[in-house]
């Protein structure tokens, strides 16, 4: 993809926001879903919330009309990861879920095959499979981008739909893999916001400009005095970029 094609892609691409429900109870998660849906249509359920209330929050988001990004980062032997992925399909209503690309080609291929087979058996749409490359808590260095490109190439070869990557790598990934690679970008912060344990962070407009399909915001909203106002500000930044 040349620079002109990349510019055209950015101009037509619709970047969507995902709210990371990184809270410790169903009641807290329900509060944010009720407050922010339908301004926010996609909600990330990660390890903490899933362990706290499992399928209950999945069902609630689905009944509310929202979409679900299940971020459990499967990383296990191929058979175990594939069987877990079948269960994700059986849950229903999961738009996309994550596996670790460092689990290796065989694990990713087995996950892809299991998801495709189970969705076909049930007659439903298969969830998107998103490969986690390097966590945004990793400090930026000259080795990061080549490694993320390598892991993304392995994910695409295995048939995964996209990757999680910071804004620091997103532009290069677009150049290397074109417009059909789904890129999910975490670590979104507004100017002056606390970084927390995130190192490779970005403003919403930076992520959209680099070519991200989805941006994930959590603590800037969850810890805000006015979560709705912060959500509106982030969405405005995305839409006006």
Cα 66 from Cα 196, distance rounded (Å): 27
**pTM for this model (two decimals):** 0.90
From the list 41, 87, 47, 32, the residue with the least C-alpha distance to 62 is 41
Which runs of consecutive H residues, i.e. helices, occur in 130-226? 144-157, 167-177, 204-210, 219-222
Instruction: Please enumerate in sequence order all residues whose Cβ is within 8 A of that of 95, keeping only pairs 6 or more positions apart, or say none.
Output: 42, 67, 68, 69, 127, 128
How many percent of the chain have pLDDT more than 90? 82
- The parent domain of residue 221 ranges over 3-240
Which is the catalytic residue, given 41, 73, 208, 236? 73
- For 161-198, write each residue's pLDDT tens digit: 999 999 989 999 999 999 999 999 998 988 655 545 44
Cα 20 from Cα 87, distance rounded (Å): 22
Query: In this structure, what CATH number is given to the domain that contains residue 217?
Result: 3.20.20.70
Give me the pLDDT at residue 1, please. 44
**Average pLDDT for the chain:** 90
In the residue annotation, 73 being an active-site residue is answered as yes
Give me the pLDDT at residue 14, please. 82
| Tokens, residue 132 | 């986690």
Number of domains in the chain: 1
């Amino acid at each position: 993809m040349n620079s002109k094609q990349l510019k055209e892609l950015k101009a037509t691409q619709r970047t969507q926001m995902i709210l990371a429900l990184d809270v410790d109870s169903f009641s807290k998660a329900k509060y944010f879903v009720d407050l922010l849906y339908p301004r926010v249509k996609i909600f990330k359920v990660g390890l903490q919330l899933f362990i706290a209330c499992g399928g209950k929050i999945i069902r609630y988001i689905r009944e509310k009309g929202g979409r679900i990004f299940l971020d459990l980062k499967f990383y296990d032997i191929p058979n175990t990861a594939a069987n877990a992925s079948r269960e994700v399909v059986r849950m229903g209503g999961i738009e996309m879920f994550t596996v670790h690309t460092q689990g290796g080609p065989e694990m990713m291929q087995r996950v892809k095959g299991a998801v495709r087979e189970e969705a076909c058996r049930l007659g439903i749409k298969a969830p998107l499979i998103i490969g986690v490359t390097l966590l945004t808590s990793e400090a930026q260095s000259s080795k990061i981008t080549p490694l993320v490109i390598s892991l993304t190439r392995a994910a695409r070869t295995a048939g995964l739909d996209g990757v999680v990557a910071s804004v620091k790598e997103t532009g290069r990934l677009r150049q290397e893999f074109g417009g059909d690679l789904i890129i999910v970008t975490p670590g979104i912060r507004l100017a002056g916001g606390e970084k927390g344990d995130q190192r490779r962070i970005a403003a919403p407009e930076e992520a959209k400009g680099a070519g991200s399909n989805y941006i994930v915001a959590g603590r800037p909203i969850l810890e805000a005095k006015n979560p709705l106002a912060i959500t509106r500000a982030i969405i405005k930044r995305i839409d006006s970029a």
